[in-house]
Amino acid sequence: MDILIPAERVPVADDVDICVVGGSCTGVFAALRAARLGARVALIEKQNRLGGVATCGLVGMWHSLYDFADQQPIIGGLTLETLERLDRRGAVSPFRDPQESRRGGVRFNTEELTLELDELVLEQPRIRAWLQTSYSRVLARGSGDLEAIVIENKSGRSAIRARVFIDASGDGVLCRDAGIAMTRVAHPQPPTACARFENWDSLGDIDIKALCDTYRETFPNLPCGYAWGMGVPSSAIRMLAGTRVMQCDCSDADAVTRAEFESRAQIRAFMDMLRVARPGNRLTLQALPSAVGIREGRHITPLRLLTGAEMLAGTRFADAIGNGTYPVDIHHDTDDTITFKRLDGTCKTFAANRLIHTERWLPEGKILPYYQFTLGCLIPDQAVNLISAGRMAGVDREAFGAIRVMVNLNQCGEAAGVAAWQALDGGQSMGAIDAAQTRALLARGGSIIL
Ligand SMILES: Cc1cc2nc3c(=O)[nH]c(=O)nc-3n(C[C@H](O)[C@H](O)[C@H](O)COP(=O)(O)OP(=O)(O)OC[C@H]3O[C@@H](n4cnc5c(N)ncnc54)[C@H](O)[C@@H]3O)c2cc1C
């Protein structure tokens, strides 16, 4: 059954050069790069803070900014700038990757990142940010050709007009509503709610996965699958990414509601189990995420699909806008396995946290120093004034497994901001953006362009 919503006149709340929907680091970095080039930018975020999964989702880990040999810096730009700012506040701690005996990356305090992103945005007079403001619909002249968007917040409903739009909503809602063909994958990587705990040490030495297996019949809501955790720098607090909601495509309202309830029930079962398995422990649940962490939803149909095969062949793309070394990391959504295809040439599958299969995908002794990703996979096919940045990128399953981490998506955000600024000039459509100029502007703004 449908109902008809009558046509309505709404005020134009702002008229800007570029409008960014979604204020994760991806969206913030897009807004900052465009504003630093001179554009007036509106940044729309439905939560009370910027940062997306990194802050609201409690995921405080960025991976290595160096090539696989741990020699050459391959990621700079706003990722490096933000980490340097956080470091000055003692909010980051580097870690080594035990699997790869190289720099693994950094852990950071997600609350400090929230404050840092506030400052980065407020320091930039050309950005007007709207928090607790949801994008709700587009006003389009045609497919991928937007005149304005409608937003909803405390002041009611209004519109934001812009000349170019960036979809950094994670789910690609702006692209979807703009008529861009979206792909639903058969097995999206499962969502996870992280949780933060105090007094983790009071549990003593524990093997979480073994305990969950032992107590699964008593506490049927216990999570299955891979679990990892990290200490919050300079604190006794520990974050655990241990839940997993199977066969759940969070681009659907019922599914994301199920993900919120089920993942939180898994955390409760975990606490209940520990009360029995470790009586007298002093573990305290300290924080839950304000939104479940979504790994994967819909993808855009891009100007040019990026495949894992070409990335892992070490292809140097003419429109490369970023570099990475994070492995192809696929959390499977039908059983408790996870596969890591690392740049050292190994491919390992774990069931829960136990290694069950190893093979090589590169000849013995070979490594891939780093891979690249492209501008073409961010531009929706036939889009006129719309570009995407984030996990909705037009990539296949394998490429997604690698680029989905934040140090990579941050670079996509920066590239989208620069490309959007280029599109303002001369009114060229997105597909006609000169990628060589994007790369030059990125490099001039501090990105490492190889
Ligand atoms: C549990 C988990 C652990 C992970 N671990 C790591 C890790 O250790 N390191 C790492 O680098 N990556 C990790 N990842 C992957 C990484 O965090 C995500 O892929 C990445 O953050 C996605 O970024 P994004 O900008 O595309 O989306 P998001 O971070 O989801 O941001 C989308 C933003 O858009 C906003 N938004 C959405 N719809 C609207 C709307 N209608 N109106 C206004 N705003 C809207 C959202 O509120 C959000 O702020 C993990 C992911 C998960 C789920």
* Residues whose CB falls within 8 Å of the CB of residue 140, separated by 6 or more in sequence, listed in order: 146, 147, 177, 178, 179
Ligand 1 midpoint to CA 89 (Å):
24
pLDDT tens figures, 321-376? 999 999 999 999 999 999 999 999 999 999 988 899 999 999 999 999 999 999 99
Locus of tokens 């994967």: 296
Beta strands 102-108 and 61-63, pairing class: antiparallel
How many whole angstroms from 334 Cα to the centroid of ligand 1? Answer: 22
Q: Please provide the CATH number assigned to the domain covering 12-187+297-306+373-444.
A: 3.50.50.60
CB of 134 closer than 6 angstroms to any ligand 1 atom: yes
For residue 98, give every residue at least 6 positions away whose Cβ sits within 8 Å of its Cβ, in sequence order, or none: none
Least confident range from 75-79, 332-336, 438-442: namely: 332-336
Q: For the segment 305-320, what is each residue's pLDDT rounded down to a tens digit? A: 999 999 999 999 999 9
Burial of 102 (0-12, 13-18, 19+ CB in 10 A): middle
59 lines ligand 1 (CB under 6 A): yes
pLDDT of 213 above 80: yes
Dist. CA 214 → ligand 1 center (Å): 33
Q: Are 380 and 175 in contact (CB under 8 A)?
A: yes
Structure tokens at 136: 């709700």
Q: What's the pLDDT at 352?
A: 82
Residues 287-307 pLDDT 10s: 999 999 999 999 999 999 999
- Grade residue 137 by pLDDT with cuts at 50, 70 and 90: very high
Nearest atom (ligand 1) to Cα of 241:
1
pTM above 0.85, yes or no: yes
For the Cβ of 169 lying below 6 angstroms from any atom of ligand 1, the answer is yes
With a 6 Å cutoff on the Cβ, whether 194 touches ligand 1 is yes
7 CA to centre of ligand 1 in angstroms? 33
* SS3 at position 96: strand
Domain boundaries, the chain: 12-187+297-306+373-444, 207-287
Mutate to test the pocket of ligand 1, among 24, 134, 150, 373 (most ligand atoms within 8 A of CB): 24
pLDDT at 427 over 70: no
Helices (H), 228-293: 253-277
**Which ligand 1 atom is the nearest neighbour of the CA of 407?**
11
Residue 295 Cβ inside 6 Å of ligand 1? The answer reads yes
The response to whether residue 144 sits with its C-beta less than 6 Å from ligand 1 reads no
C-alpha gyration radius of the chain: 22
Looking only at the bridges linking them, the beta strands covering 238-241 and 299-300 are: unpaired
- Residue 97's pLDDT is 84
